[in-house]
A and B are shown apart, each in its own frame.
Chain A
């Protein structure tokens, strides 16, 4: 039983490690995103080569974040994976339908301001969080 406990506690430890790894990759991605966005204005005064390099670094870190997220998801148990799947499906659906409708509002000049991609990201993030909260409550 003790040997079993040790082996199985490794599963929990791996999950915590996967979550921590994902958090670090996400933080790195956000930082490189900020550098790619604001660097041209505040750090290197519109040097195209540096701007391109910053964007490429952001892309590379983004790939790392995707891999870390995949590893994190694969490490979850089947109910947690189901909750994640349902939340991601909701987020993707709302993002696609809502995003295109929002774009149509902009294209047809029914809204006075530009439809920004950041608004879509916020919508998808909020929908994902609502999906996770709903799933956790459903199986409680």
Chain B
């Protein structure tokens, strides 16, 4: 699954650690999601969407 997490984070000038804190996950998990190595659960995807004020499909796209 592809995602725009890294771009959205960069637009807000947030570090991985800051985003991790916002989403209540570890920095390693944010890194793995950004690299496409780990697909987040639906609740975590919703949380990210709420945080960025976007729809889930605006952040995460199927390959």
Contact = CB atoms under 8 A, between A and B. Distances in A.
Interface of A: 4-5, 8-9, 11-12, 77-80, 82, 136, 138-140
Interface residues on B, range: 10 to 19
Contacts, number: 39
B61 interface: no
B32 A80 contact: no
B15 interface: no
B24 A79 contact: no
Main secondary structure of the interface of A (DSSP, over half): helix
Given A8-B22, A8-B24, 15 more contacts: A8-B21, A9-B21, A77-B25, A78-B25, A78-B29, A79-B26, A79-B28, A79-B29, A79-B32, A80-B26, A80-B29, A82-B38, A139-B29, A139-B32, A139-B38
